[in-house]
Structure 1
Amino acid sequence: MAELTSVLKSSSSDEEILFALRQGAGIAQAVASTITDWSFSGAVSGQYRADLSVNDAVLGAFSGFGCGVLSEESGATGVVPTSPSELGEGLVIVVDPIDGSTNASRGIPWYATALCAVDQHGPRVAVVAQLCAPHVEYVAIRGKGAWRNGLALTAHSERPMAESVIGVSGPPPALRPWWQFRALGSAALDLCLVAEGALDGYLDCDTHGVWDYLASLLICQEAGVHIADAFGRDLCHFGHSERRTPVAARGKENLQALCDLRTASS
Protein backbone atom coordinates (compact mmCIF):
# COMPACT_ATOMS: atom_id res chain seq x y z
CA MET A 1 0.00 0.00 0.00
CA ALA A 2 1.27 3.48 -0.86
CA GLU A 3 2.21 5.74 2.03
CA LEU A 4 0.82 9.27 1.93
CA THR A 5 3.28 12.15 1.87
CA SER A 6 2.38 15.36 3.70
CA VAL A 7 2.05 17.33 0.46
CA LEU A 8 0.43 16.31 -2.81
CA LYS A 9 1.74 17.88 -6.01
CA SER A 10 2.22 16.95 -9.64
CA SER A 11 5.43 15.07 -8.80
CA SER A 12 3.53 12.81 -6.37
CA SER A 13 3.02 9.28 -7.63
CA ASP A 14 -0.33 8.13 -8.97
CA GLU A 15 -0.47 5.68 -6.07
CA GLU A 16 -0.04 8.45 -3.49
CA ILE A 17 -2.78 10.51 -5.10
CA LEU A 18 -5.11 7.52 -5.33
CA PHE A 19 -4.43 6.71 -1.69
CA ALA A 20 -5.48 10.25 -0.73
CA LEU A 21 -8.66 10.15 -2.81
CA ARG A 22 -9.63 6.77 -1.39
CA GLN A 23 -9.05 8.12 2.10
CA GLY A 24 -11.43 10.99 1.34
CA ALA A 25 -14.00 8.62 -0.14
CA GLY A 26 -13.81 6.37 2.90
CA ILE A 27 -14.44 9.31 5.21
CA ALA A 28 -17.39 10.37 3.05
CA GLN A 29 -18.86 6.86 3.31
CA ALA A 30 -18.38 6.79 7.08
CA VAL A 31 -20.04 10.17 7.62
CA ALA A 32 -22.87 9.51 5.15
CA SER A 33 -23.73 6.25 6.91
CA THR A 34 -24.52 8.15 10.13
CA ILE A 35 -26.69 10.91 8.63
CA THR A 36 -30.35 11.02 9.61
CA ASP A 37 -31.05 14.71 8.93
CA TRP A 38 -31.79 15.23 5.24
CA SER A 39 -33.33 18.67 5.60
CA PHE A 40 -32.24 21.58 3.42
CA SER A 41 -29.43 23.80 4.68
CA GLY A 42 -31.26 27.02 3.76
CA ALA A 43 -28.02 28.55 2.51
CA VAL A 44 -28.14 27.48 -1.14
CA SER A 45 -31.13 26.26 -3.13
CA GLY A 46 -31.21 22.47 -3.22
CA GLN A 47 -28.35 22.07 -0.73
CA TYR A 48 -28.88 19.60 2.12
CA ARG A 49 -27.34 19.75 5.57
CA ALA A 50 -25.89 16.34 4.76
CA ASP A 51 -24.00 17.81 1.80
CA LEU A 52 -22.25 20.20 4.18
CA SER A 53 -21.51 17.50 6.76
CA VAL A 54 -19.81 15.23 4.24
CA ASN A 55 -18.09 18.19 2.59
CA ASP A 56 -16.58 19.37 5.88
CA ALA A 57 -15.29 15.88 6.66
CA VAL A 58 -13.73 15.37 3.22
CA LEU A 59 -12.12 18.82 3.16
CA GLY A 60 -10.78 18.16 6.64
CA ALA A 61 -9.12 15.01 5.33
CA PHE A 62 -7.55 16.92 2.44
CA SER A 63 -6.52 19.99 4.44
CA GLY A 64 -3.02 18.75 5.20
CA PHE A 65 -2.09 17.78 1.67
CA GLY A 66 -1.15 21.27 0.51
CA CYS A 67 -3.19 21.12 -2.68
CA GLY A 68 -6.11 23.21 -3.85
CA VAL A 69 -9.67 21.95 -3.54
CA LEU A 70 -12.68 22.92 -5.62
CA SER A 71 -15.90 21.72 -4.01
CA GLU A 72 -19.51 22.08 -5.04
CA GLU A 73 -20.50 23.03 -1.51
CA SER A 74 -17.66 25.34 -0.42
CA GLY A 75 -16.04 26.59 -3.62
CA ALA A 76 -12.27 27.01 -3.86
CA THR A 77 -9.92 26.30 -0.95
CA GLY A 78 -6.19 26.89 -1.27
CA VAL A 79 -4.61 27.64 -4.65
CA VAL A 80 -7.15 27.04 -7.43
CA PRO A 81 -6.19 28.87 -10.65
CA THR A 82 -8.51 29.77 -13.49
CA SER A 83 -7.57 26.71 -15.55
CA PRO A 84 -5.51 23.51 -15.13
CA SER A 85 -2.85 24.81 -17.53
CA GLU A 86 -1.88 27.36 -14.85
CA LEU A 87 -1.25 24.78 -12.13
CA GLY A 88 2.48 24.30 -12.66
CA GLU A 89 3.60 21.82 -10.00
CA GLY A 90 0.32 22.07 -8.11
CA LEU A 91 -2.70 19.80 -7.89
CA VAL A 92 -6.38 20.57 -7.43
CA ILE A 93 -8.87 18.02 -6.12
CA VAL A 94 -12.37 18.53 -7.50
CA VAL A 95 -14.94 17.34 -4.96
CA ASP A 96 -18.62 16.46 -5.05
CA PRO A 97 -19.30 15.27 -1.49
CA ILE A 98 -22.66 13.69 -2.37
CA ASP A 99 -23.68 13.41 -6.00
CA GLY A 100 -27.32 12.41 -5.95
CA SER A 101 -28.28 14.06 -2.66
CA THR A 102 -31.98 14.07 -3.46
CA ASN A 103 -31.84 10.32 -4.09
CA ALA A 104 -30.20 9.92 -0.69
CA SER A 105 -32.80 12.11 1.01
CA ARG A 106 -35.59 9.91 -0.40
CA GLY A 107 -33.92 6.61 0.42
CA ILE A 108 -33.05 5.83 -3.20
CA PRO A 109 -29.73 3.93 -3.12
CA TRP A 110 -28.01 5.71 -5.99
CA TYR A 111 -25.62 8.41 -4.77
CA ALA A 112 -21.86 8.74 -4.49
CA THR A 113 -18.88 10.88 -3.63
CA ALA A 114 -16.88 11.93 -6.69
CA LEU A 115 -13.24 13.00 -6.40
CA CYS A 116 -10.81 13.94 -9.18
CA ALA A 117 -7.20 15.07 -8.86
CA VAL A 118 -6.24 17.46 -11.66
CA ASP A 119 -2.75 18.51 -12.74
CA GLN A 120 -1.64 20.91 -15.45
CA HIS A 121 -2.49 18.31 -18.11
CA GLY A 122 -6.06 17.70 -16.89
CA PRO A 123 -7.78 14.92 -14.90
CA ARG A 124 -5.15 12.54 -13.53
CA VAL A 125 -6.67 10.27 -10.86
CA ALA A 126 -10.36 9.75 -10.11
CA VAL A 127 -12.52 7.92 -7.60
CA VAL A 128 -16.32 7.61 -7.66
CA ALA A 129 -17.47 5.73 -4.56
CA GLN A 130 -21.07 4.75 -3.96
CA LEU A 131 -22.10 5.94 -0.49
CA CYS A 132 -24.64 3.21 0.12
CA ALA A 133 -24.73 -0.56 -0.31
CA PRO A 134 -23.31 -2.25 -2.34
CA HIS A 135 -20.58 0.46 -2.10
CA VAL A 136 -19.29 0.07 -5.65
CA GLU A 137 -16.01 1.90 -6.31
CA TYR A 138 -14.85 3.18 -9.70
CA VAL A 139 -11.24 4.27 -10.13
CA ALA A 140 -9.22 5.67 -13.04
CA ILE A 141 -5.61 6.72 -13.53
CA ARG A 142 -4.73 8.70 -16.63
CA GLY A 143 -2.97 6.52 -19.19
CA LYS A 144 -3.23 3.40 -17.02
CA GLY A 145 -6.88 2.37 -17.11
CA ALA A 146 -10.14 2.29 -15.18
CA TRP A 147 -11.52 -0.24 -12.74
CA ARG A 148 -14.79 -1.21 -11.06
CA ASN A 149 -14.16 -2.82 -7.69
CA GLY A 150 -10.67 -3.70 -8.88
CA LEU A 151 -11.73 -5.26 -12.19
CA ALA A 152 -10.54 -3.52 -15.35
CA LEU A 153 -13.12 -1.72 -17.47
CA THR A 154 -12.67 -2.28 -21.19
CA ALA A 155 -14.20 -0.74 -24.28
CA HIS A 156 -17.55 -2.09 -25.49
CA SER A 157 -18.73 -2.07 -29.08
CA GLU A 158 -21.19 0.61 -30.15
CA ARG A 159 -24.80 -0.48 -30.56
CA PRO A 160 -27.07 1.16 -33.12
CA MET A 161 -28.90 4.08 -31.50
CA ALA A 162 -32.25 2.34 -32.06
CA GLU A 163 -31.03 -0.51 -29.82
CA SER A 164 -29.39 1.67 -27.16
CA VAL A 165 -30.32 2.44 -23.57
CA ILE A 166 -29.32 6.02 -22.75
CA GLY A 167 -28.97 7.65 -19.35
CA VAL A 168 -30.42 11.14 -19.11
CA SER A 169 -30.43 14.00 -16.64
CA GLY A 170 -33.37 16.36 -16.86
CA PRO A 171 -36.43 16.06 -19.12
CA PRO A 172 -35.42 14.26 -22.34
CA PRO A 173 -36.21 15.81 -25.73
CA ALA A 174 -39.40 14.97 -27.56
CA LEU A 175 -37.37 13.25 -30.28
CA ARG A 176 -35.97 10.07 -28.73
CA PRO A 177 -34.10 7.97 -31.29
CA TRP A 178 -32.93 5.42 -28.73
CA TRP A 179 -34.65 2.21 -27.60
CA GLN A 180 -35.05 3.14 -23.91
CA PHE A 181 -33.75 5.73 -21.46
CA ARG A 182 -33.01 5.86 -17.73
CA ALA A 183 -33.10 8.95 -15.47
CA LEU A 184 -31.29 7.71 -12.35
CA GLY A 185 -30.37 10.96 -10.60
CA SER A 186 -26.58 10.86 -10.16
CA ALA A 187 -24.49 12.10 -13.08
CA ALA A 188 -21.29 10.70 -11.58
CA LEU A 189 -22.68 7.17 -11.24
CA ASP A 190 -24.71 7.35 -14.46
CA LEU A 191 -21.57 8.10 -16.48
CA CYS A 192 -19.79 5.22 -14.75
CA LEU A 193 -22.55 2.93 -16.02
CA VAL A 194 -21.56 3.97 -19.53
CA ALA A 195 -17.93 3.18 -18.68
CA GLU A 196 -18.85 -0.33 -17.55
CA GLY A 197 -21.21 -0.94 -20.48
CA ALA A 198 -24.52 -1.08 -18.59
CA LEU A 199 -25.68 2.05 -20.42
CA ASP A 200 -24.86 2.79 -24.04
CA GLY A 201 -24.66 6.54 -23.59
CA TYR A 202 -25.48 9.56 -21.46
CA LEU A 203 -27.25 12.78 -22.39
CA ASP A 204 -27.30 15.80 -20.11
CA CYS A 205 -30.62 17.51 -20.82
CA ASP A 206 -29.80 20.17 -18.22
CA THR A 207 -26.36 21.47 -17.15
CA HIS A 208 -23.84 20.41 -14.51
CA GLY A 209 -20.96 21.76 -12.47
CA VAL A 210 -17.52 20.28 -13.08
CA TRP A 211 -17.64 18.32 -9.81
CA ASP A 212 -20.65 16.35 -11.04
CA TYR A 213 -18.85 14.70 -13.95
CA LEU A 214 -15.07 15.25 -13.92
CA ALA A 215 -14.11 12.08 -12.03
CA SER A 216 -16.44 10.06 -14.25
CA LEU A 217 -15.03 11.75 -17.35
CA LEU A 218 -11.61 10.23 -16.64
CA ILE A 219 -13.18 6.85 -15.83
CA CYS A 220 -15.07 6.95 -19.14
CA GLN A 221 -12.03 8.00 -21.14
CA GLU A 222 -9.85 5.28 -19.65
CA ALA A 223 -12.59 2.73 -20.39
CA GLY A 224 -12.69 3.74 -24.06
CA VAL A 225 -15.88 5.82 -23.88
CA HIS A 226 -16.17 9.01 -25.93
CA ILE A 227 -17.24 12.05 -23.91
CA ALA A 228 -17.66 15.71 -24.80
CA ASP A 229 -19.59 18.85 -24.01
CA ALA A 230 -22.61 19.09 -26.32
CA PHE A 231 -21.69 22.67 -27.20
CA GLY A 232 -17.98 22.05 -27.75
CA ARG A 233 -16.70 23.62 -24.54
CA ASP A 234 -13.81 22.30 -22.45
CA LEU A 235 -15.17 19.97 -19.78
CA CYS A 236 -12.17 20.41 -17.47
CA HIS A 237 -12.23 23.83 -15.83
CA PHE A 238 -12.18 25.42 -12.37
CA GLY A 239 -15.08 27.86 -12.68
CA HIS A 240 -17.41 27.32 -9.72
CA SER A 241 -20.26 29.19 -11.38
CA GLU A 242 -19.70 27.70 -14.84
CA ARG A 243 -21.86 24.89 -16.16
CA ARG A 244 -21.37 22.32 -18.91
CA THR A 245 -23.46 19.76 -20.78
CA PRO A 246 -21.62 16.41 -20.78
CA VAL A 247 -22.58 13.77 -23.32
CA ALA A 248 -21.05 10.30 -23.55
CA ALA A 249 -21.33 7.28 -25.83
CA ARG A 250 -19.42 4.14 -26.68
CA GLY A 251 -18.74 5.30 -30.24
CA LYS A 252 -18.22 8.55 -32.10
CA GLU A 253 -21.34 8.16 -34.24
CA ASN A 254 -23.69 7.92 -31.28
CA LEU A 255 -21.81 10.68 -29.46
CA GLN A 256 -22.37 13.03 -32.37
CA ALA A 257 -26.03 12.02 -32.63
CA LEU A 258 -26.59 12.76 -28.94
CA CYS A 259 -24.75 16.08 -29.16
CA ASP A 260 -26.83 17.09 -32.18
CA LEU A 261 -30.00 16.11 -30.33
CA ARG A 262 -29.00 18.22 -27.33
CA THR A 263 -28.04 21.32 -29.31
CA ALA A 264 -31.21 21.11 -31.40
CA SER A 265 -33.34 21.12 -28.25
CA SER A 266 -31.61 24.10 -26.61
Structure 2
Amino acid sequence: MPETDLDLLVRAARDAGDIATRYFKNAPGVTNKPDGGGPVTEADLAVNAMLESSLQAARPDYGWLSEETEDGAARLSTNRQFVIDPIDGTRAFIEGNRDWAHSLAIVENGRVIAAAVYLPIRDLMFSAEIGGGAHVNDQPARVTASALQGATVLGTRPNFADDHWRGGAPPIKRAFRSSLAYRLCLVAQGRFDGMITLRDSWEWDIAAGALIAAEAGAIVTDANKRPLLFNNAHPQLPGVIAAGPELHAGLADRLEPPRAKP
Protein backbone atom coordinates (compact mmCIF):
# COMPACT_ATOMS: atom_id res chain seq x y z
CA MET A 1 0.00 0.00 0.00
CA PRO A 2 1.49 3.37 -0.98
CA GLU A 3 2.72 5.59 1.84
CA THR A 4 0.26 8.39 2.63
CA ASP A 5 1.38 12.01 2.72
CA LEU A 6 0.98 12.07 6.49
CA ASP A 7 2.99 8.88 7.00
CA LEU A 8 5.68 10.30 4.75
CA LEU A 9 5.91 13.49 6.84
CA VAL A 10 5.99 11.62 10.15
CA ARG A 11 8.75 9.31 8.94
CA ALA A 12 10.76 12.22 7.55
CA ALA A 13 10.35 14.20 10.78
CA ARG A 14 11.77 11.31 12.79
CA ASP A 15 14.69 11.03 10.37
CA ALA A 16 15.27 14.75 10.82
CA GLY A 17 15.37 14.25 14.57
CA ASP A 18 18.03 11.57 14.20
CA ILE A 19 20.25 14.04 12.34
CA ALA A 20 19.62 17.08 14.52
CA THR A 21 20.22 15.31 17.82
CA ARG A 22 23.73 14.38 16.70
CA TYR A 23 24.54 18.11 16.59
CA PHE A 24 22.55 19.17 19.67
CA LYS A 25 24.83 20.35 22.50
CA ASN A 26 27.79 19.34 20.34
CA ALA A 27 29.03 22.84 19.35
CA PRO A 28 27.51 22.95 15.83
CA GLY A 29 28.91 25.56 13.48
CA VAL A 30 26.76 28.72 13.39
CA THR A 31 26.61 31.45 10.78
CA ASN A 32 24.33 34.47 10.45
CA LYS A 33 22.06 34.95 7.47
CA PRO A 34 22.34 38.23 5.57
CA ASP A 35 20.08 41.21 6.27
CA GLY A 36 19.37 40.20 9.86
CA GLY A 37 17.86 36.86 8.87
CA GLY A 38 19.02 35.19 12.07
CA PRO A 39 21.39 32.31 12.80
CA VAL A 40 21.65 29.05 10.91
CA THR A 41 23.57 26.00 12.11
CA GLU A 42 25.19 22.99 10.49
CA ALA A 43 22.24 21.01 11.81
CA ASP A 44 19.67 23.19 10.00
CA LEU A 45 21.50 22.68 6.72
CA ALA A 46 22.05 18.94 7.19
CA VAL A 47 18.39 18.36 8.06
CA ASN A 48 17.26 20.50 5.14
CA ALA A 49 19.46 18.59 2.69
CA MET A 50 18.10 15.24 3.86
CA LEU A 51 14.48 16.39 3.76
CA GLU A 52 14.76 18.01 0.35
CA SER A 53 16.36 14.89 -1.11
CA SER A 54 14.06 12.30 0.48
CA LEU A 55 10.75 14.15 0.25
CA GLN A 56 11.21 15.29 -3.33
CA ALA A 57 12.29 11.78 -4.32
CA ALA A 58 9.05 10.46 -2.81
CA ARG A 59 6.85 13.19 -4.35
CA PRO A 60 8.73 14.64 -7.35
CA ASP A 61 5.71 16.61 -8.56
CA TYR A 62 5.31 18.56 -5.31
CA GLY A 63 6.70 22.07 -5.02
CA TRP A 64 9.25 22.99 -2.36
CA LEU A 65 9.37 25.84 0.15
CA SER A 66 11.86 25.68 3.00
CA GLU A 67 13.54 28.23 5.24
CA GLU A 68 16.94 26.89 4.26
CA THR A 69 16.45 26.59 0.48
CA GLU A 70 16.54 29.59 -1.84
CA ASP A 71 12.96 30.20 -2.94
CA GLY A 72 11.83 30.36 -6.55
CA ALA A 73 8.68 30.67 -8.62
CA ALA A 74 8.53 26.99 -9.66
CA ARG A 75 6.44 25.98 -6.62
CA LEU A 76 3.68 28.41 -7.61
CA SER A 77 2.73 26.26 -10.62
CA THR A 78 2.51 22.97 -8.69
CA ASN A 79 -0.67 21.44 -7.30
CA ARG A 80 0.86 20.51 -3.94
CA GLN A 81 3.83 21.89 -2.05
CA PHE A 82 6.05 20.86 0.84
CA VAL A 83 6.41 23.70 3.36
CA ILE A 84 9.33 22.91 5.63
CA ASP A 85 11.22 24.41 8.56
CA PRO A 86 14.16 22.06 9.15
CA ILE A 87 14.62 23.40 12.69
CA ASP A 88 12.06 25.83 14.06
CA GLY A 89 13.60 27.48 17.09
CA THR A 90 17.23 27.60 15.95
CA ARG A 91 18.18 29.97 18.74
CA ALA A 92 16.80 27.53 21.30
CA PHE A 93 18.76 24.76 19.59
CA ILE A 94 21.98 26.78 19.85
CA GLU A 95 21.31 27.59 23.52
CA GLY A 96 20.75 23.93 24.42
CA ASN A 97 17.03 24.45 25.09
CA ARG A 98 14.76 21.48 24.27
CA ASP A 99 11.97 23.51 22.69
CA TRP A 100 12.93 23.32 19.02
CA ALA A 101 11.07 21.35 16.40
CA HIS A 102 11.01 19.98 12.88
CA SER A 103 7.98 21.43 11.09
CA LEU A 104 6.75 19.67 7.93
CA ALA A 105 3.56 20.41 5.99
CA ILE A 106 1.94 19.69 2.64
CA VAL A 107 -0.22 22.39 1.07
CA GLU A 108 -2.88 22.04 -1.63
CA ASN A 109 -4.79 25.01 -3.08
CA GLY A 110 -3.47 27.24 -0.31
CA ARG A 111 -4.60 24.94 2.52
CA VAL A 112 -2.48 22.63 4.63
CA ILE A 113 -3.67 19.03 4.17
CA ALA A 114 -1.06 17.09 6.17
CA ALA A 115 1.36 18.10 8.90
CA ALA A 116 3.94 16.79 11.34
CA VAL A 117 5.79 18.69 14.05
CA TYR A 118 8.41 16.70 15.93
CA LEU A 119 10.40 17.64 19.04
CA PRO A 120 13.03 14.91 19.22
CA ILE A 121 14.50 15.85 22.59
CA ARG A 122 11.04 15.69 24.15
CA ASP A 123 10.00 12.75 21.90
CA LEU A 124 6.77 14.54 20.98
CA MET A 125 5.25 13.89 17.57
CA PHE A 126 2.30 16.10 16.68
CA SER A 127 0.46 15.16 13.50
CA ALA A 128 -2.72 15.90 11.59
CA GLU A 129 -4.36 15.49 8.23
CA ILE A 130 -7.28 17.55 7.08
CA GLY A 131 -10.55 16.11 8.36
CA GLY A 132 -8.74 13.46 10.41
CA GLY A 133 -8.21 15.22 13.71
CA ALA A 134 -4.94 16.03 15.47
CA HIS A 135 -2.75 13.70 17.50
CA VAL A 136 0.23 13.86 19.82
CA ASN A 137 2.18 10.58 20.02
CA ASP A 138 -0.87 8.87 18.44
CA GLN A 139 -3.27 10.15 21.13
CA PRO A 140 -6.06 12.58 20.19
CA ALA A 141 -5.32 16.27 20.85
CA ARG A 142 -7.99 18.82 21.77
CA VAL A 143 -7.90 22.53 22.55
CA THR A 144 -9.29 23.99 25.76
CA ALA A 145 -12.62 25.81 25.92
CA SER A 146 -11.22 28.83 27.74
CA ALA A 147 -12.74 32.29 27.90
CA LEU A 148 -10.57 35.41 27.75
CA GLN A 149 -10.52 36.10 31.49
CA GLY A 150 -7.64 34.18 33.06
CA ALA A 151 -6.56 32.36 29.89
CA THR A 152 -2.88 31.50 29.40
CA VAL A 153 -1.68 32.65 25.99
CA LEU A 154 1.67 31.97 24.35
CA GLY A 155 3.42 34.96 22.83
CA THR A 156 6.31 37.35 23.14
CA ARG A 157 6.00 40.26 25.56
CA PRO A 158 5.69 43.00 22.88
CA ASN A 159 2.47 41.42 21.58
CA PHE A 160 0.77 42.36 24.85
CA ALA A 161 1.77 46.03 24.95
CA ASP A 162 -1.28 48.13 25.80
CA ASP A 163 -1.23 50.05 22.52
CA HIS A 164 -2.13 46.92 20.53
CA TRP A 165 -5.37 46.43 22.44
CA ARG A 166 -8.64 48.25 22.97
CA GLY A 167 -8.76 49.14 26.64
CA GLY A 168 -5.21 47.90 27.22
CA ALA A 169 -3.75 44.40 27.37
CA PRO A 170 -6.34 41.64 27.85
CA PRO A 171 -6.74 39.89 31.24
CA ILE A 172 -4.61 36.87 30.39
CA LYS A 173 -1.48 35.17 31.66
CA ARG A 174 1.43 35.12 29.23
CA ALA A 175 3.80 32.23 28.51
CA PHE A 176 6.50 31.70 25.92
CA ARG A 177 8.17 28.97 23.87
CA SER A 178 10.80 29.64 21.19
CA SER A 179 9.25 27.67 18.32
CA LEU A 180 6.11 29.03 16.68
CA ALA A 181 5.27 25.53 15.47
CA TYR A 182 5.52 24.22 19.04
CA ARG A 183 3.35 27.07 20.35
CA LEU A 184 0.59 26.08 17.93
CA CYS A 185 0.94 22.43 18.93
CA LEU A 186 0.78 23.27 22.63
CA VAL A 187 -2.54 24.97 21.97
CA ALA A 188 -3.69 21.86 20.09
CA GLN A 189 -2.64 19.70 23.03
CA GLY A 190 -4.61 21.85 25.48
CA ARG A 191 -1.55 22.68 27.57
CA PHE A 192 -2.07 26.39 26.82
CA ASP A 193 -5.28 28.15 25.89
CA GLY A 194 -4.07 30.15 22.91
CA MET A 195 -1.17 31.73 21.05
CA ILE A 196 -0.71 35.01 19.26
CA THR A 197 1.95 36.72 17.21
CA LEU A 198 1.36 40.09 15.59
CA ARG A 199 4.56 40.01 13.57
CA ASP A 200 4.63 38.91 9.94
CA SER A 201 5.21 35.15 10.07
CA TRP A 202 6.98 32.95 7.53
CA GLU A 203 4.83 30.17 6.13
CA TRP A 204 7.34 27.48 7.12
CA ASP A 205 7.08 28.53 10.79
CA ILE A 206 3.32 28.13 10.99
CA ALA A 207 1.94 25.87 8.23
CA ALA A 208 2.23 22.54 10.03
CA GLY A 209 1.23 23.84 13.45
CA ALA A 210 -1.75 25.70 12.00
CA LEU A 211 -3.34 22.50 10.69
CA ILE A 212 -2.59 20.61 13.91
CA ALA A 213 -4.23 23.35 16.00
CA ALA A 214 -7.23 23.61 13.66
CA GLU A 215 -7.79 19.85 13.63
CA ALA A 216 -7.70 19.94 17.44
CA GLY A 217 -10.59 22.42 17.43
CA ALA A 218 -8.84 25.78 17.39
CA ILE A 219 -9.81 28.75 15.27
CA VAL A 220 -6.61 29.73 13.46
CA THR A 221 -6.43 33.02 11.55
CA ASP A 222 -4.05 35.82 10.80
CA ALA A 223 -4.05 38.86 13.08
CA ASN A 224 -6.83 40.40 10.95
CA LYS A 225 -9.15 37.41 11.56
CA ARG A 226 -8.69 36.14 8.00
CA PRO A 227 -8.11 32.46 7.12
CA LEU A 228 -4.50 31.46 6.58
CA LEU A 229 -3.65 30.77 2.93
CA PHE A 230 -0.27 29.31 2.01
CA ASN A 231 2.03 29.06 -1.02
CA ASN A 232 2.03 32.82 -1.53
CA ALA A 233 4.57 34.38 -3.89
CA HIS A 234 5.98 36.16 -0.84
CA PRO A 235 5.61 33.44 1.80
CA GLN A 236 4.66 35.54 4.80
CA LEU A 237 1.37 36.06 6.63
CA PRO A 238 0.39 39.00 8.88
CA GLY A 239 0.54 37.29 12.25
CA VAL A 240 -1.37 34.38 13.75
CA ILE A 241 -4.07 33.93 16.39
CA ALA A 242 -4.92 30.37 17.47
CA ALA A 243 -7.31 29.43 20.26
CA GLY A 244 -10.65 27.82 20.98
CA PRO A 245 -13.61 29.72 19.50
CA GLU A 246 -14.49 31.84 22.54
CA LEU A 247 -10.93 32.84 23.35
CA HIS A 248 -10.08 33.50 19.71
CA ALA A 249 -13.04 35.85 19.43
CA GLY A 250 -12.07 37.59 22.65
CA LEU A 251 -8.51 38.18 21.50
CA ALA A 252 -9.32 39.15 17.93
CA ASP A 253 -12.12 41.56 18.88
CA ARG A 254 -9.90 43.46 21.32
CA LEU A 255 -7.05 44.06 18.90
CA GLU A 256 -6.68 47.66 17.80
CA PRO A 257 -6.89 48.30 14.05
CA PRO A 258 -4.67 48.62 12.11
CA ARG A 259 -2.73 45.56 13.20
CA ALA A 260 0.59 47.17 14.09
CA LYS A 261 3.70 45.05 14.32
CA PRO A 262 5.15 44.76 17.82
So what's the TM-score if we normalise by structure 2?
A: 0.85
Query: Partners of 1:193 and 1:155 in 2: how far apart?
Result: 9
The answer to whether the Cα contact below 8 Å between 1:165 and 1:178 also exists between their aligned partners in 2 is no
Which of the pair is proportionally richer in strand? 2
1:250 aligns with one of 239, 244, 251: 244
For 1:68, the equivalent position in structure 2 comes to: 63
Aligned pair 1:97/2:92, yes or no? Answer: no
- Describe how 1:108-187 pairs up with structure 2 within 5 A: 108-120=97-109, 122-132=111-121, 134-157=122-145, 159-169=146-156, 171=158, 172-174=160-162, 175-187=168-180
Following superposition, the deviation at residue 169 of structure 1 comes to 3.5
Amino acid corresponding to residue 223 of structure 1 in structure 2: A
Query: Partners of 2:203 and 2:104 in 1: how far apart?
Result: 11
Following superposition, the deviation at residue 92 of structure 1 comes to 0.6
The answer to whether the Cα contact below 8 Å between 1:170 and 1:206 also exists between their aligned partners in 2 is no
Query: Partners of 1:204 and 1:100 in 2: how far apart?
Result: 15
Following superposition, the deviation at residue 210 of structure 1 comes to 0.8
Unaligned runs of 5+ in 1: 5-15
Following superposition, the deviation at residue 241 of structure 1 comes to 4.8
Following superposition, the deviation at residue 224 of structure 1 comes to 0.8
- Identity score, percent: 26
Query: Partners of 1:156 and 1:232 in 2: how far apart?
Result: 20
Distance 1:30-1:179 versus aligned 2 partners, 3 A rule: same
Query: Partners of 1:179 and 1:151 in 2: how far apart?
Result: 28
Aligned pair 1:33/2:21, yes or no? Answer: yes
Query: Partners of 1:170 and 1:55 in 2: how far apart?
Result: 31
Following superposition, the deviation at residue 262 of structure 1 comes to 4.3
Amino acid corresponding to residue 241 of structure 2 in structure 1: V
Following superposition, the deviation at residue 176 of structure 1 comes to 2.8
Query: Partners of 2:220 and 2:236 in 1: how far apart?
Result: 18
Query: Partners of 1:150 and 1:54 in 2: how far apart?
Result: 24
Query: Partners of 2:15 and 2:73 in 1: how far apart?
Result: 20
The answer to whether the Cα contact below 8 Å between 2:88 and 2:181 also exists between their aligned partners in 1 is yes
Query: Partners of 1:210 and 1:246 in 2: how far apart?
Result: 11
What's the Cα RMSD here?
2.2
- Choose 93-102 or 163-172, whichever is displaced more: 163-172
The answer to whether the Cα contact below 8 Å between 2:198 and 2:238 also exists between their aligned partners in 1 is no
Query: Partners of 2:213 and 2:177 in 1: how far apart?
Result: 18
